[in-house]
Homo-oligomer: A and B are copies of this chain.
């Protein structure tokens, strides 16, 4: 078994390098040779430890997925402990605080996982098809239920839509997927600083959540 310190170090180095490169260039544009070279390990090490490139991607993802989902639940728990029926603002705060905390703790891979998530929405990887709903189904339901208590005027369906828009906005914002970077030569928004993104984004999404029903 891969229990020795050296072995753990090797597979961890691979995970770190792969995480960074997958986020930067995407899955298909990142080759095994690039990953192993960046990690300073032999080409065969990936297949030795993770079976395949797909297995590596899954491992990269799952290393962060569980901690993040637990962070999201913990922050919602805390919000509901302070206030049994948290407002939209407080719910969004739970969300953004989870993302920010994820980015601040180096052990959690910084902002990389949020970016990887945002990439995965656009380019879903088959290896995640079944593990993601298992892990994030409860998180989604909990947040949607909380939003329902905060905005009782919205139907179940419209709550799902609002959560969809909310998470799209949050993940894309934190991932730094800047539309303006593509559209304008010198965009003046700095979408790279998570704290700034969170402050700018908050009034926007909170007002959006509280908006009257589409009818």
Contact = CB atoms under 8 A, between A and B. Distances in A.
Interface of A: 26, 28-29, 118-124, 128, 132-133, 136-137, 139-141, 156-158, 160-165, 167-169, 171-173, 175, 177-185, 187-189, 191, 199-214
Nearest to A122: B122
Contact of A184 (B140, B201, B206, B209): B140
Contact of A173 (B163, B165, B183, B207): B165
A181 B171 CA distance: 15
Contact of A189 (B161, B175, B205): B161
Nearest to A187: B160
B211 A203 contact: yes
A212 to B, nearest CB: 6
A155 to B, nearest CB: 11
A122 B124 contact: no
Nearest to A162: B204
Contact of A208 (B160, B187, B208): B208
Nearest to A206: B211
Given A140-B183, A169-B165, A184-B133, A214 B202 contact: yes
A158 B160 CA distance: 28
Contact of A136 (B120, B123, B161, B184): B184
Given A120-B182, A157-B189, A189-B164, A200 B172 contact: no
